[in-house]
Amino acid sequence: MSKTLGGLCVAVTLAIVTTSGGDVLAVGPWPQEMAERPAEEKAEQRAAGARLQADLAEAVKRGDRQFTIPPGTYRFADSLQL
Give the mean pLDDT of 61-81.
Answer: 83
Mean pLDDT of 63-69: 90
What is the chain's mean pLDDT, rounded? 74
pTM listed for this prediction: 0.58
Average pLDDT over residues 7-33: 59
CB 44 within 8 A of CB 74: no
- For the segment 15-27, the average pLDDT, to the nearest whole number, is 60
Give dist(CA 1, CA 16) in Å, integer: 15
pLDDT at res. 13: 47
